[in-house]
Structure 1
Amino acid sequence: MRHTIQYCVVGLSYKNADLTTRGYFSLNKKQIEHLLMQAKADGLNELMVISTCNRTELMGFVDEPKKFIDYLCTFSGGDESLFLEKGYVLSDRKALNHVFRVGCGLESQIIGDFEIIGQMKKSFQNSKDHQIVNGFSERLINAVIQASKRIKTETDLSSGATSVSFASVHYILEHVKEVSQKKILLFGTGKIGRNTCENLIKHTQNNLITLVNRSQESAQRVAGKFNLVVKNINNLKTEINYSDIMIVATGAKDLTVDASFVPRYKPLLILDLSLPSNVDPKLSDHENITLVNLDELSQLTNATLKKRGQFIPQANEILHQVEAEFLQWVDHRKFAPTLNALKQKLLDGQQKEQGEVQEFSQIVYRLTGKIASYLKENPSKADQTMALLQNVYQLDSKLDV
């Protein structure tokens, strides 16, 4: 009898949910940890969680997708009715295809952004540390990594490597004159902050960059690499007052830049790279202040991004090749319980008759091996063959999903 358990993906992304909505359902490291612990306690054994600026998703095996929705809403604090309006639920082959597309950068807001595969690997490792993934997820992630590597090396989908950090610097270069002479404040030195800092140094030739971070030690490590100035977070208001450009990459759950922090008497460009947004949206109402958020940055249509579109068909072809191999493994995997049950039934019968056990065992292994080969070569007859074997030998086995 077939299990009702199915592989599901539950989540929200930039395609249907705006920045504010995605912020409601974003999960930080601690929230993900608590979610995985609860799922483990509830008996789930295959679940990964990913939360980025583009999407928040739960992916794994579950008997009812509503469980994943409940986990997401409970631990993020997002409203279930809002999820039902803006979110999505995918199952079985559609869910697996989605995982491949996400991991290969084909579902990224900036097409070809390969940072996502690193985030997926980190998600898998996090779940592995919590002992809530098994062989299926490992095989899946390895297949996605293989497809991602091939797309990266065999196509130019990621040419001109673009990411949120690069897009922010590109925006500055496009909209600010004499950028090398402008005073730039970078608030937040996490991964996005560090990457943005590297891009600033590389593309702006600006040595008037100041770093501020809650942990001054973290800021000092980044600053030391590039010989930049670090200021204490208590001086944030003063540094904002001095700046022409401020990049916010704090990644907090609440606002870190209140409207009261920002002077109104001079122009200031603010790029908010955080999800949820960490800059007070009221600042966009002021004439001298230009506030740009993640979604606006991701809509850049420069020549590099336009060029990438021509490589999507080639990327899809590679993805489908690797995905087909994985799905073939999935199909063979679901027949393993029946073949193992047949093998055991035949071996048990021989032991009762006390015959030549070793020789008979070899025959049984060859027989089941030939059946497996037949199933591989005749996939359209696989289900019928399995049903016949179960009926003839009265096998008590359960098929995996």
Structure 2
Amino acid sequence: MQVSHSKEIANFHIVGINYKKTDAAIRGLYAINPAQYQQLLEHARTVQLDDLFVLSTCNRTEIYGFAAHPGQLMELLCRESNGDSTQLAALAYVKSGEEAIKHLYQVGTGLDSQILGDYEIIGQIRNAAKFSKSAQCLGSFLERLVNSVLQVSKLIKTETGLSKGTVSVAFATVRMLERICPDIKNKKVVLFGIGKIGRNTCKNMIEYLGVKEITLINRTMQVAADFAGQHGLQYAPYENMVSEMQAADVILVASNAPQPTVLAEYFEQSSPKLIIDLSIPFNVETSVGDLPHISLVNVDELSKVQDETLQNRLGEVPKAIAIIEEHMTEFLYWYKMRKHAVVLKAVKDKLHEIHMREILQQKNGNSYKMEDIEMVSSRIIQKMINLMAGKVRKETDKSDQYIAMINDIFETGVNQD
């Protein structure tokens, strides 16, 4: 299927689902892993969609890019994920043009995060865009926009209190443990999965709760061994996972398997346990929560853990929005002037053509210094271009009209669509 679309802002869309309308189980269906992301980008190029990227986290999956209509981006997402196009159409939010641009700023600065001010998302945006660029699917528009969002995120982090205080999924886990398991220091804890979330949660447990009896399990045992050595913890081979979990009081699951690996049958005859599933998609079988002696908590429930830090952050939102608006205006101005620059360059070339033609016509065998004439005429041309560009910059509301008129008058042949 071949598609055609212009790179006008009206054709820039975002299609996504997040924690606001969907639970973790549904979001897991649309999660995109690196292999799927690579395949999605390869297919995108075959249908002439070459300026896009996909953001897939535990709280959202979003695809940003240029297309004739948002449905084309939906098709890409469903083609590579485990989700259904009919379900996605019913659950997804779609934003286009400036609203899509604003949404990326809000996501990148933590204003749209499940935990307000969560700045870890900006690193995920950076990596998603970098991945797309490496596959030659990130155009100049999106690269410039992502760079602007990265800059704004940094400004908001340093100039406001939106991200002050430690609030994240990992920290929310610690706060929940503090509340529902006050004697956690005396409990045997197993952490399955030593990825970023697992490591952060473990560090927070050590720092804030003083927990020392933590056994680490990872599919690659050396990863668990290295982390255990750095923090004075224990580790066990993956093959011992079931027995270690059966002996534990608290189990944290932060693995990244495509389907549940922690099953209800492991705990049918076990002692009471608290199990916290930090994975997306869920890596703990949902029926585990049906066992009367097991308490199961997932990432959606963790988001309900409130902290006074969040209340303080709410007061910083207006400052963050003001910074976003300022830099979004600058980005839109860059976009508009980039279009205008093409026309102005063509006008300049046209004027050079005119002045050279006039010089040749007026020569008529007379003696004169060619350098003098060319110097004067070149200055005149540049002054004319500067006047036009200055007028366009000054009259921003009429700039499109002025550029279109200049384009038409000089018959540059530039298509502005």
In the aligned structure 2, how far is the partner of 1:171 from the partner of 1:136?
42
For 1:127, the equivalent position in structure 2 comes to 132
- In the TM superposition, what are the counterparts of 1:229-378 in structure 2 within 5 Å? 229-354=234-359, 356-357=373-374, 359-378=376-395
- In the TM superposition, what are the counterparts of 1:110-121 in structure 2 within 5 Å? 110-121=115-126
Range with bigger deviation, 71-80 or 343-352: 343-352
Is residue 2:205 matched to residue 1:200? yes
Report the CA distance shift for 1:263/1:239 in structure 2 as closer, same or farther (over 3 A). Answer: farther
Structure 1's unaligned 5+ residue stretches are none
In the aligned structure 2, how far is the partner of 1:359 from the partner of 1:104?
51
Q: Which AA in structure 1 matches 2:293?
A: N
Q: Which AA in structure 1 matches 2:399?
A: A
In the aligned structure 2, how far is the partner of 1:362 from the partner of 1:31?
56
**Counterpart contact for 1:17–1:87, Cα < 8 Å:** no
Higher relative contact order structure (alpha carbons within 8 Å, sequence separation ≥ 6): 1
Q: Which AA in structure 2 matches 1:254?
A: Q
SS in 1 for 2:53: strand
SS in 2 for 1:246: strand
TM-score normalised by the chain length of structure 2:
0.91
For 1:89, the equivalent position in structure 2 comes to 94
SS in 2 for 1:335: helix
For 1:54, the equivalent position in structure 2 comes to 59
Match of 1:226 among 231, 253, 260: 231
Report the CA distance shift for 1:361/1:42 in structure 2 as closer, same or farther (over 3 A). Answer: farther
Aligned CA-pair RMSD: 1.7
In the aligned structure 1, how far is the partner of 2:136 from the partner of 2:97?
23
Is residue 2:191 matched to residue 1:186? yes
SS in 2 for 1:45: coil
Identity percentage of aligned residues? 38
**Counterpart contact for 2:106–2:112, Cα < 8 Å:** yes
For 1:383, the equivalent position in structure 2 comes to 400
SS in 1 for 2:315: helix
In the aligned structure 1, how far is the partner of 2:214 from the partner of 2:268?
19
In the aligned structure 1, how far is the partner of 2:403 from the partner of 2:215?
67
SS in 2 for 1:48: strand
In the aligned structure 1, how far is the partner of 2:379 from the partner of 2:129?
39
In the aligned structure 2, how far is the partner of 1:285 from the partner of 1:224?
36
TM-score normalised by the chain length of structure 1:
0.95
Per-residue deviation, 1:302: 2.0
Report the CA distance shift for 1:328/1:215 in structure 2 as closer, same or farther (over 3 A). Answer: same
Report the CA distance shift for 1:46/1:358 in structure 2 as closer, same or farther (over 3 A). Answer: farther
**Counterpart contact for 2:260–2:284, Cα < 8 Å:** yes
SS in 1 for 2:316: helix
Report the CA distance shift for 1:357/1:61 in structure 2 as closer, same or farther (over 3 A). Answer: farther
Range with bigger deviation, 353-362 or 7-16: 353-362
Report the CA distance shift for 1:238/1:350 in structure 2 as closer, same or farther (over 3 A). Answer: same
In the aligned structure 2, how far is the partner of 1:60 from the partner of 1:46?
6
Range with bigger deviation, 379-388 or 271-280: 379-388
In the aligned structure 2, how far is the partner of 1:253 from the partner of 1:310?
39
For 1:396, the equivalent position in structure 2 comes to 413
In the aligned structure 2, how far is the partner of 1:358 from the partner of 1:224?
73
In the aligned structure 1, how far is the partner of 2:266 from the partner of 2:349?
73
After superposition, give the CA deviation of every residue in 1:348-394 in whole Å (9 maximum; x if it has no partner): 33344456445434433332233222212111111221221122112
In the aligned structure 1, how far is the partner of 2:45 from the partner of 2:239?
41
**Counterpart contact for 1:337–1:398, Cα < 8 Å:** no
In the aligned structure 2, how far is the partner of 1:353 from the partner of 1:301?
76
Q: Which AA in structure 2 matches 1:388?
A: M
In the aligned structure 1, how far is the partner of 2:204 from the partner of 2:409?
67
In the aligned structure 1, how far is the partner of 2:227 from the partner of 2:133?
30
For 2:6, the equivalent position in structure 1 comes to 3
Report the CA distance shift for 1:363/1:227 in structure 2 as closer, same or farther (over 3 A). Answer: farther
For 2:368, the equivalent position in structure 1 comes to none
- In the TM superposition, what are the counterparts of 1:146-225 in structure 2 within 5 Å? 146-225=151-230
